[in-house]
Amino acid sequence: MKVIHLVSELRQWRKEVGSGRVVLVPTMGALHEGHLKLIEVARELAGPKGQVGVSIFVNPLQFGPNEDFGRYPRELEADCARCESAAADVVFAPSVDEVYPKDRSVIILETSLSKVLCGASRPGHFDGVGTVVAKLFNYFTPDDAVFGTKDYQQLAIIRRMVRDLNFPLAIHGVDTVREPDGLAMSSRNRYLSTNERSEAPALRGALQLIREAFHAGETSAATLRGLALNHLSANAPSGALDYLELVDAENLQPVAEVNSHTVVAVAYRFSKARLIDNLELA
C-alpha cells in the first residue's frame, strides 16, 4: 500500500493505474470499524484488478469557529495500518496547504438540502464538505465513491452534487455500523464521559421507538416526535437536543404525516461531543 501526501504524486499514481476501476473512500481519519466496512465495500466494488483509495484529511472548511477542528483526533500511522489491513491500495493524506491555496476563493455551495438539519445548526458546514469532496473527486477521478449512511444528509448532498455537476462516478451508501448497544460508531464517541457513553444509546432507542409506533399505525409526525423526545429526556438527561426531525428521504423537508419514505434524523449534544443518527422508516 502506498501513502501519498502530494496532489502531484496522487495524479501520477492515478495515471499509472490506468483504466482499472478506482473506488474512493473519503475520511477524516481516526478510523474505526465503520470506516473499515466502507473500505471492505470499496474492495468488493473494485474487484481484484481495481484500486481502492482512502483519503485521510481533517478538513478545516467544514468546522465552525467553536467546533473541534483543533482537537479532532489525528493518528495517521495507526490509520494507515488499518487501511492496509483492509486491503486499500493507496492512502492520500495531504496537508491543509496542499489542498487549499492561501488565496482560495471558490467553494461548492448547495442551496436546498443543506439548509435543514445539520446545515441549519452548523452554517457553512456543507459548503466545506462539498468543496473538499469535489476536490477529491478531481484528484482521484474515481469510478465509484463510498460513504456511510450515518451522515444521511451529507450523503444526500453529495449525490445531488454528483448529479447536478455531472461528476462521472457512482455514489454508494453503506449502512451504519454500530456498537453492541446500538450506538452508531463515530470518531467523536471517544469524547464521551463514562456517564454520557451510557446514555448515548438512547439516540438509537428514540429512533426505534418512532419506527415501532409507525409500524403500529401512528402516522402523525408530531406524535411520533413527542414519543422520541420523551425517551431522550428520560434516558439521556446529560445531553441536550440539537434537532430531531421527521423528513422526506429525498428532499429532507419536514413532514406532517409520515410514510415509508420518511427518515428520522437526530443530533444530540453532550459536553464535548455532538452525535448524529438517523433511521429510515421503511
Q: Over the stretch 129-186, which tens digit does the pLDDT of each residue have?
A: 999 999 999 999 999 999 999 999 999 999 999 999 999 999 999 999 999 999 999 9
**Residue 181 included in any domain:** no
What confidence score (pLDDT) does residue 276 get? Answer: 98
Picking from 139, 174, 209, the residue at the C-terminal end of a domain is: 174
Q: What is the three-class DSSP state of 257?
A: strand
In whole angstroms, how large is the CA radius of gyration of the chain? Answer: 19
DSSP, residue by residue, 16-68? HHTTS-EEEEEE-S---HHHHHHHHHHHHHH-TTSEEEEEE---GGGS-TTSS
pLDDT at residue number 66: 87
Same domain, yes or no: 222 and 192: yes
Q: Are residues 191 and 170 in the same domain?
A: no
Domain coverage including residue 213: 187-280
Q: Which of 5, 32, 35, 125 is catalytic?
A: 35
Same domain, 11 and 145: yes
Q: How many CB atoms lie within 10 A of CB 95?
A: 10
The pTM of this model reads: 0.96
In this structure, the answer to whether residues 61 and 198 fall within a common structural domain is no
35 in active site: yes
Residue 198 lies in a domain: yes
CB atoms within 10 A of CB 187: 18
Q: Write the CATH number for 6.
A: 3.40.50.620
Name the grid cell of 173: 451508501
**Is the torsion defined by CA of 184, 71, 157, 134 positive or negative?**
negative
Among 127, 152, 174, the domain boundary falls at: 174
- State pLDDT tens for residues 188-224: 999 999 999 999 999 999 999 999 999 999 999 999 9
User: Within a domain: residue 182?
Assistant: no
Predicted pLDDT of residue 282: 87
Q: Is residue 180 part of a domain?
A: no
State residue 74's pLDDT score: 97
The reported pLDDT for the residue numbered 121 is: 94
Q: Are residues 61 and 145 in the same domain?
A: yes
Residue 27 pLDDT class (50, 70, 90 cuts) = very high
Domain count for the chain, please give it. 2
222 within some domain: yes
% of the chain residues with pLDDT over 70: 100
For residue 209, is it within any domain?
A: yes
Q: What is the mean pLDDT of residues 72-91?
A: 97
Average pLDDT along the chain? 97
Nearest to 253 by CA among 133, 114, 126: 114
- With 90 as the cut, is the pLDDT of residue 114 above it? yes
If asked whether residues 108 and 213 sit together in one domain, one would say no
